[in-house]
Amino acid sequence: MAGKREKFGGRMAVILAMAGSAIGLGNIWRFPYMVGEHGGAAFVIIYVLATLLISLPVFLAEVMIGRRSHSNARDAFARLSRQHPFWRRVGYLSIIIPLMIVSYYSVIGGWSVEYFFKACSFSFSEMAPEAASSLFVNFVSSSWMPVLMHLVFLAASVGVVAGGVRAGIEKFSKITLPLLFLLIVVILIYSVTLPGAAAGVQYLLHPDWSELTPRTFAYAMGQSFFSLSLGMGAIITYGSYVKKEENILVTSTGTAISDLLFAILAGFAIMPAVFAAGIEPGAGPGLIFQSVPFVFAKMGVEVPLISSLVAIVFFLAIIVAAMTSCISLVEVGVSFLMERAHLTRGRACVLLFVVCGGVGTLCSLSFGPLAGVQVAGMSLFDLMDWVCSNILLLVMALLAVVFAGFILPRRVVHDEFTSHGRYHFNDRIFPVVWFLIKWVAPIAVVIIFFTNFIL
């Protein structure tokens, strides 16, 4: 089975696939409202530092675990630990987490599908800006339509995974990632020209350090992990598709920088529109679905045709961006089922569609008919998002860096990081990377984890 494992085509394919996993709704949907809830530019600065000093070493550790094991996320820990019982059980966690995230992530993807259809019908260019802002609440609180859109989005994502690593995931990423960067820049340019948008730009450029609390650091770290797909098993799985001669320092750093750049661009595309629309920056998960339609409605007053065309392309880009992240998470489960349950790729995809589709339906209904079902004061959707982002991802990421720093022999990590001595620069900086993986990242993750509960 190991000898038949698919591989990415080359360095650019690796960066685009991994960047596709990282770049998505975590940047466009989650990052802007996290910035709004936690201090604006101060949160952005902490987020950037956390990504480079902590998340990147964790990312490298997960890539090395995947490439060294040459197997799915569950078996990676078992194989490299020589079937140690504890690490075999840890491997199962790396399968459960991404499937939980897919279940509620695809609900948000479904919102994007609905807004794409509305854009195609020229709805935004024909409605008052104020009506565009309130459209979101009316939609998500309804019953069957959000569920249908969730299933449509999930089916499309699973369909890409069914195509395989090269013909499905890699090809899809090569087409969609450059398009997404182009479109977010177009939206940014128009967004900053809206009346009142200057306040949004200032919000992102001038940090308010008085807003900082220990919890701000915790949420910045959680957002960084969520955005880079850390602790989800996705990077371990994608790492197993990376060729042995590939320079994982270049591919990993390229992915992290691409993710940071896109998150910042998304912030400057969304926040000026938020302030122009008079929407509260900390409005929560629906922020992008309130502010962006407002932008298109404002454009529709002046240039209705251009507004409609840009809205169509933008929400199509949001869909495919969300899909690139979703397919990486689905691939974790598919890889596991193919290797452990010996299912065909097609059957594994169908099984995961049924499971994640069912759980996601409950998450979708938690905005409407099941809104009264609360756990610890949170809806099912909010609960799954909070548990995954602030607990499970941190736990899994901690286990990954502990595994790389204390279970794997130092020479094994060195071999993977340098591609068996092929890259001399990697060899020179390896002591620094080793220190970050072995000490800095684990300690930081532990501190952040307890901050979520103590403060």
Domains and CATH numbers, the chain: 2-454 (1.10.4160)
Per-residue pLDDT of the chain (455 residues; tens, 9 = 90+): 344 678 888 788 888 899 888 888 778 878 888 888 788 899 999 999 999 999 999 999 999 999 999 999 999 999 999 888 899 899 999 999 999 999 999 999 999 999 999 989 888 777 776 676 678 888 999 989 999 999 999 999 999 999 998 888 888 888 888 888 888 888 888 888 888 899 999 989 888 888 788 888 888 887 888 889 899 999 999 999 999 999 999 999 999 999 999 999 989 988 888 888 777 776 666 677 876 787 777 666 666 777 788 788 778 878 887 898 999 999 999 999 999 999 999 999 999 999 999 999 999 999 999 999 999 899 999 999 889 877 898 899 999 999 999 999 999 999 999 999 999 999 999 999 999 999 999 998 898 888 877 76
Place of tokens 């195509």: 163
Q: What's the chain look like in SS3?
A: CHHHCCCCCCHHHHHHHHHHHHCCHHHHHHHHHHHHHCCCHHHHHHHHHHHHHHHHHHHHHHHHHHHHHCCCHHHHHHHHCCCCHHHHHHHHHHHHHHHHHHHHHHHHHHHHHHHHHHHHCCHHHHCCHHHHHHHHHHHHCCCHHHHHHHHHHHHHHHHHHHCCHHHHHHHHHHHHHHHHHHHHHHHHHHHCCCCCCHHHHHHHHCCCHHHCCHHHHHHHHHHHHHHCCCCCCHHHHHHCCCCCCCCHHHHHHHHHHHHHHHHHHHHHHHHHHHHHHCCCCCCCCCHHHHHHHHHHHHHHHHCHHHHHHHHHHHHHHHHHHHHHHHHHHHHHHHHHHHHHCCCCHHHHHHHHHHHHHHHHHHHHHCCCCCCCCCECCECHHHHHHHHHHHHHHHHHHHHHHHHHHHHCCHHHHHHHHHCCCCCHHHHHHHHHHHHHHHHHHHHHHHHHHHHHHHC
Between the alpha carbon of residue 254 and those of residues 17, 18, 40, 114, 251, the distances in Å are: 11, 9, 25, 32, 5
Residue 174 structure tokens: 């090569």
